[in-house]
Structure 1
Amino acid sequence: MPHYKKLKIPLLWLRRHTSDREFMLLSSVLVGLTAGLAAVVLKTLVHYIHVLLAYGNRLLDQPYWLVVFPLAGILLTVFLVRVMFNGHIGRGTANILFNISQKSSMVERHKMYSHVLTSGITAGFGGSAGLESPIVVTGSAIGSNYGREYHLNYRDRTLMLASGAAAGIAAVFNAPIAGVLFAIEVLLTDISISAFIPLIIAAVVGALCSKIILQEEILFYIGQREFFEAGHVPFYVLVGIISGMMSVYYTRMALRVEEVFEAYETKVYQRAIIGGILLGLLIMLFPPLFGEGYDSIRLLEGNNAEKLLQESWLAFFGTNEWLLLSFIGALALVKVFATTITIASGGNGGNFAPSMFVGACSGFFFARLMNLLEVTKLPEGSFAMVGMAGILSGVMHAPLTAVFLIAEITGGYTLMIPLMIVAATSFALVKYFEPYSLDTKKLAQKGQLLTHNKDRTILRILKIRHLIETEFQEVSPEATLGELVQVIAHSRRNLFPVVNDSKSLEGVILLENVREIMFKAEKYDVVKVKELMVKPPAIVQYDDSMADVMKKFDESGAWNLPVVEGDVYLGFVSKSSIFTKYRKLLIKTTNV
């Protein structure tokens, strides 16, 4: 008997002999432990690949390796995806949101390991992307497949999925509170107090895994040394505004770069080569773009930004303060290109760490500029930290996650007030220009995104194709009244679509409109159906969203509306069938 089946037996026994609540608490421990270990494996893999390639042999001393390594990583990732996973692994948080809304929180089994392998190779070889999205996908897959294995219902399976994601984030940053908040803000659209307990347990277990196993140089941790001064509040507000503007820039530029690479969607190796070379050239110009970028953030926070410049070709011009400031500002602007090229060309990664990198550069840039202009004396490290929260809040649309993540990785809450100011200001500004986050914008455009508005969420899940009723008796516009009477006599409906030979809908016959004439036998052979039909009050297209359908029902006052694809008649959709399906989905999608 396989080992996993031996392990499954006692859990199945517990499933039968414990309450649902007790089993869910135990499940959160197991999912949190597994997701935490997966995060440990991923961080360790990237760390040692990076050490071997970049530092072990000092290969980065030769600039051309900065092109070769990222290109090799992207090509290897594309090769593995095509050979091992049929060319598709579903990248990013958006893919998990799609699984929740469209696939009943069922995540493919291979995602429990495929993202660890591919993102580890991409980032380890210098790809300019983060590991957090891959670990969210991995943890979510672990939780989802655990729920499938032990026959949990949709609500509990979704909770386990979110618990796995929370544990993954908690383990990557040793930040359990941020892990819980990420699951709530990004993945779960509806949550009750009872659901917090499994999330908290999973996040704590995941954080303990990384705390016990990983060394400090692998974990991203910063010791906060500077304190908040109330006199700096106006400057923190300005950083929040700058962060909001940078977040909008990040989101829009990333989507535009993705559109460029979509032209090579079927030419995967050509796309990988082009992207790898472009990424390598960017890294040659700006070496801090190599990898996740956490080492660079540490230098900015520790007031050692000069070391970033020393590693670039600009060091030839010395360490002029204004040159350094220009270099940091350029890093903030080009990071989005490096990250999007990495992912769009075939690498695997996310925008979590890059957002923090851009935020650190933006916050540091602002503080150093104020200091150079002698406007005031600002703590540059603190402004780099709150800048991270601002961009993370704006790009991911997760302000609470941003605030508590930075608070946790700095080891204290001395910056809590400025973190809240910057994150809230950035988020408010971004929401005005970009209602959806970078990861969810495309899903929202397709109507496949779960939202915190329960009515809107369920309407997006409902699809016309599942609600079409086809038992209505069709009649030809050339049919006589007598033929219509025969159709009426054998039908249980009081509505009849008038369809021509090419299956196009020309009108409808309402029983109430012909009730008087249908008893005049002398007109049976004289009056044609086309003389009796009326135009339907509204017509539903097959690809209409359910929100549009409900609007047509409200405006027309009808109870049944015809559905067409182009001009071809398909059937009718009724309010009663929509309400029935709505009630079922409302029960199904309400979390415990």
Structure 2
Amino acid sequence: MPHYKKLKIPLLWLRRHTSDREFMLISSVLVGFTAGMAAVALKSLVHYIHVLLAYGNRLLDQPYWLVIFPIIGILLTVLLVRTLFNGTIGRGTANVLFNISQKSSMMERHKMFSHVLTSGITAGFGGSAGLESPIVVTGSAIGSNYGREYHLNYRDRTLLLASGAAAGIAAVFNAPIAGVLFAIEVLLTDISIAAFIPLIISAVVGALCSRIILQEEILFNIGQIEFFAANHVPFYVLLGILAGIISVYYTRMALRVEELFELYQGKAYTRAIIGGMLLGLLIMLFPPLFGEGYGSITLLEQNNAEKLLQDSWLAFFGTNEWLVLCFVGALALVKVFATTITIASGGNGGNFAPSMFVGASTGFFFSRLVNLLNISSLPVSSFSMVGMAGILSGVMHAPLTAVFLIAEITGGYTLMIPLMIVAATSFALVKYFEPYSLDTKKLAQKGQLLTHNKDRTILHIMKIRHLIETEFQPVSPDAMLGELVQVIADSRRNLFPVVNAEQKLEGIILLENVREIMFKSEKYDVVKVKELMIKPPAVVQYDDNMADVMKKFDESGAWNLPVLLDEKYIGFVSKSSIFTKYRKLLIKTTNV
């Protein structure tokens, strides 16, 4: 018997001998542990690839390595995806949301490890992208497949999926509260108090995995932060506005760069080489773009930005304070290009860590500029950390996650007030210009986004193909009234589609419209069906989403509408069947 089946035996016993709630609590521990270990594996993989490349021994002082390594990393990632995972692995948080809304929280099994492998290689070889989105996908896949393996319903499977994501985030940052809030803000559209317990348990277990196993240099840690001064509130408001503007810039520029790389659709290796070379050139100009960037964030927090220039060609001009300021400001603007090129060219990663990098650079730039102009004396370390919350809130549309993540990684809640000010200001400004986050904008444009509106969520889950009724008796347009009467006599319906020889719908017959004439037998061989049919008030296409279908019902006032596939009639969909399905899904998805 395979080992994994042996492991299933005790869990199957527990499934039969415990209540649903007890089994969910046990499951949350197991999912949290597995997702936490996946995060440990990913962080360790990147760390040891860096060690293998001798980055710590200054091997990358040679400029040509800065070009070669990113190309190698992206090419290896593309090769693995094409040979092992059928050319696609589904990147980012948007992919998780798509699986929740469109696939009943079912995720492919390979996502439990494919993102660890591919994103580890991408970031390890210098790809300028974060590991958080890959670990969210990995943790979500672990929770989803656990739920599928033990035949849990959609509600419980979705909760375990979110628990896996929470554990992954908690493990990467050693921040369990941020992990729970991320799952609630980004993944779960509706949640009850009872659902908090599995999320918390998974997040705590995931955080413990990284805290116990990972070494200090692998984890992202921040030193002591200066205390908050109330007279700095106006500057924090200004930083929030600046963070909002940079967030809008980040989102729009990322989408434009992605569109450029879509020109190479179907040319995976060409795209990887072009992207790798562009990324390498950017890293040559701005060495801090190499990898995730947490080392650079630490230097900014410690007010040691001068060290960021030591590998750059700008070091030739010395470490003038204004030069350092301009260099950090440029990093904040260029990082979006490095990250998007990494991902769009075939690498695997996310925008979580890059958002923090841009945020730290923005906060540093703002506070250092104010200090250099002698406007005030601002704590650079505090503004660098708070800036991270501003950009995270704006780009990811997750202000609570941003606030508590920075609070946790700074080791306390000293900055809670400025964190809330900056995150809220940035989020409010960005929401006005960009209603959807960077990760979800394309899903929203396709009408596939799972939202916090319960009605829209259920309508997204419902599919036309599951609601088509085919027992309506079709009649030919050339049939005589007598034939129609016979069809009516043999049917329990009061609606009849008129379909020609090519199976195309020409009209419909309503029983109420022919009730009077159908009893006049002298017209049975005189009147044809096409003389009695009427045009349907609206037509539903097979690939219409349910929101559009309901709009057609509302506008037409009909209770039954014909469904067409490639212009051919295949059946009817009724408002009553939609309501019945809606009620079932409402019960199924309530109290997640």
Q: Secondary structure at the match of 1:64?
A: helix
Judge which range, 258-267 or 163-172, deviates more. Answer: 258-267
Aligned to 1:225: 225
Q: Deviations over 1:14-54 (max 9, x none)?
A: 22222222222222222211211111111111112113314
Aligned to 1:416: 416
Q: Secondary structure at the match of 2:107?
A: coil
Structure 2: gaps (5+ residues): none
Contact preservation (8 Å) 2:61, 2:311? no
Give the whole-Å Cα distance in 2 for the aligned partners of 1:556 and 1:102.
27
Q: Deviations over 1:85-133 (max 9, x none)?
A: 2222221111122222222222222222211111111111100000111
Give the whole-Å Cα distance in 2 for the aligned partners of 1:30 and 1:113.
16
Contact preservation (8 Å) 2:244, 2:394? yes
- The one-letter amino acid paired with 1:109 is R
Q: Secondary structure at the match of 1:407?
A: helix
Asked whether 1:90 is paired with 2:90, we answer yes
Aligned to 1:29: 29
Q: Secondary structure at the match of 1:419?
A: helix
Aligned to 1:124: 124
Aligned to 1:179: 179
Deviation at 1:588, TM superposition (A): 2.3
Give the whole-Å Cα distance in 1 for the aligned partners of 2:376 and 2:504.
73
Matches within 5 A, 1:133-144: 133-144=133-144
- The one-letter amino acid paired with 1:47 is H
Deviation at 1:202, TM superposition (A): 1.1
Matches within 5 A, 1:435-584: 435-565=435-565, 567-584=567-584
Q: 1:246 to 1:54 in 2, by over 3 A?
A: farther
Deviation at 1:589, TM superposition (A): 2.2
Contact preservation (8 Å) 1:109, 1:141? yes
Judge which range, 216-225 or 11-20, deviates more. Answer: 11-20
Aligned to 2:194: 194
Contact preservation (8 Å) 1:129, 1:291? yes
- The one-letter amino acid paired with 1:93 is T
Aligned to 2:73: 73
Aligned to 1:300: 300
- Taking only aligned residues, the RMSD between alpha carbons, in angstroms, comes to 1.7
Q: Secondary structure at the match of 1:507?
A: strand
Judge which range, 68-77 or 433-442, deviates more. Answer: 433-442
Q: Deviations over 1:41-95 (max 9, x none)?
A: 1111111211331424421110110000111111111112222222222211111
Deviation at 1:353, TM superposition (A): 0.1
- The one-letter amino acid paired with 1:424 is A
Give the whole-Å Cα distance in 1 for the aligned partners of 2:276 and 2:83.
20
- The one-letter amino acid paired with 1:511 is L
Aligned to 2:246: 246
- The one-letter amino acid paired with 2:148 is R
Q: Deviations over 1:358-394 (max 9, x none)?
A: 1111111111222222222221211111111111111
Give the whole-Å Cα distance in 2 for the aligned partners of 1:561 and 1:491.
18
Q: Secondary structure at the match of 1:263?
A: helix
Give the whole-Å Cα distance in 2 for the aligned partners of 1:275 and 1:154.
39
Aligned to 1:399: 399
Q: Deviations over 1:167-220 (max 9, x none)?
A: 111111010100111111111111111111111111111111111111222111
Deviation at 1:554, TM superposition (A): 1.6
Contact preservation (8 Å) 1:46, 1:121? yes
Q: Secondary structure at the match of 2:63?
A: coil
Give the whole-Å Cα distance in 2 for the aligned partners of 1:553 and 1:120.
49
Deviation at 1:257, TM superposition (A): 1.4
Deviation at 1:566, TM superposition (A): 5.8
Judge which range, 378-387 or 19-28, deviates more. Answer: 19-28
- The one-letter amino acid paired with 2:246 is M
Structure 1: gaps (5+ residues): none
Judge which range, 404-413 or 57-66, deviates more. Answer: 57-66
Give the whole-Å Cα distance in 2 for the aligned partners of 1:176 and 1:338.
29
Deviation at 1:454, TM superposition (A): 0.9
Q: Secondary structure at the match of 2:148?
A: helix
Give the whole-Å Cα distance in 1 for the aligned partners of 2:37 and 2:474.
61
Give the whole-Å Cα distance in 1 for the aligned partners of 2:78 and 2:591.
37
Matches within 5 A, 1:19-418: 19-418=19-418
Contact preservation (8 Å) 2:63, 2:284? yes
Contact preservation (8 Å) 1:469, 1:571? yes
- The one-letter amino acid paired with 1:138 is T
Give the whole-Å Cα distance in 2 for the aligned partners of 1:104 and 1:305.
47
Give the whole-Å Cα distance in 1 for the aligned partners of 2:544 and 2:225.
56
Judge which range, 396-405 or 256-265, deviates more. Answer: 256-265
Aligned to 2:588: 588
- The one-letter amino acid paired with 2:346 is G
Q: Secondary structure at the match of 1:366?
A: helix
Q: Secondary structure at the match of 2:169?
A: helix
Contact preservation (8 Å) 2:371, 2:377? yes
Q: 1:5 to 1:534 in 2, by over 3 A?
A: closer
Contact preservation (8 Å) 1:393, 1:399? yes
Deviation at 1:555, TM superposition (A): 2.1
Q: Secondary structure at the match of 2:564?
A: strand
Contact preservation (8 Å) 2:448, 2:460? yes
Q: Secondary structure at the match of 2:536?
A: coil
Give the whole-Å Cα distance in 2 for the aligned partners of 1:486 and 1:3.
64
Give the whole-Å Cα distance in 2 for the aligned partners of 1:16 and 1:480.
62
Judge which range, 539-548 or 396-405, deviates more. Answer: 539-548
Deviation at 1:567, TM superposition (A): 4.1
- The one-letter amino acid paired with 1:71 is I
Q: How many equivalent residue pairs?
A: 592
Aligned to 2:12: 12
Give the whole-Å Cα distance in 1 for the aligned partners of 2:154 and 2:526.
59
TM-score (norm 2): 0.96
Q: Deviations over 1:491-530 (max 9, x none)?
A: 2211122233443333222111111111122222333323
Deviation at 1:437, TM superposition (A): 1.3
Judge which range, 416-425 or 110-119, deviates more. Answer: 110-119
Contact preservation (8 Å) 1:156, 1:591? no
- The one-letter amino acid paired with 1:122 is T
Q: Secondary structure at the match of 2:308?
A: helix
Contact preservation (8 Å) 1:448, 1:461? no
Q: Deviations over 1:330-349 (max 9, x none)?
A: 11111111111111111111
Q: Deviations over 1:241-289 (max 9, x none)?
A: 2211211211121122112222223211111111111110111111110
Contact preservation (8 Å) 1:224, 1:412? no
Give the whole-Å Cα distance in 2 for the aligned partners of 1:109 and 1:547.
30
TM-score (norm 1): 0.96
Q: 1:544 to 1:5 in 2, by over 3 A?
A: closer
Deviation at 1:6, TM superposition (A): 2.8
Q: Deviations over 1:213-245 (max 9, x none)?
A: 112221111023211111211221121122112
Give the whole-Å Cα distance in 1 for the aligned partners of 2:377 and 2:256.
38
Contact preservation (8 Å) 1:130, 1:350? yes
Give the whole-Å Cα distance in 1 for the aligned partners of 2:561 and 2:162.
39
Q: 1:152 to 1:568 in 2, by over 3 A?
A: closer
Judge which range, 534-543 or 362-371, deviates more. Answer: 534-543
Give the whole-Å Cα distance in 2 for the aligned partners of 1:485 and 1:14.
61
Q: 1:513 to 1:161 in 2, by over 3 A?
A: same
Deviation at 1:477, TM superposition (A): 3.0
- The one-letter amino acid paired with 1:468 is I
Give the whole-Å Cα distance in 1 for the aligned partners of 2:519 and 2:273.
77
Deviation at 1:565, TM superposition (A): 4.0
- The one-letter amino acid paired with 2:435 is P
Contact preservation (8 Å) 2:102, 2:460? no
Percent of counterpart pairs with the same letter? 88
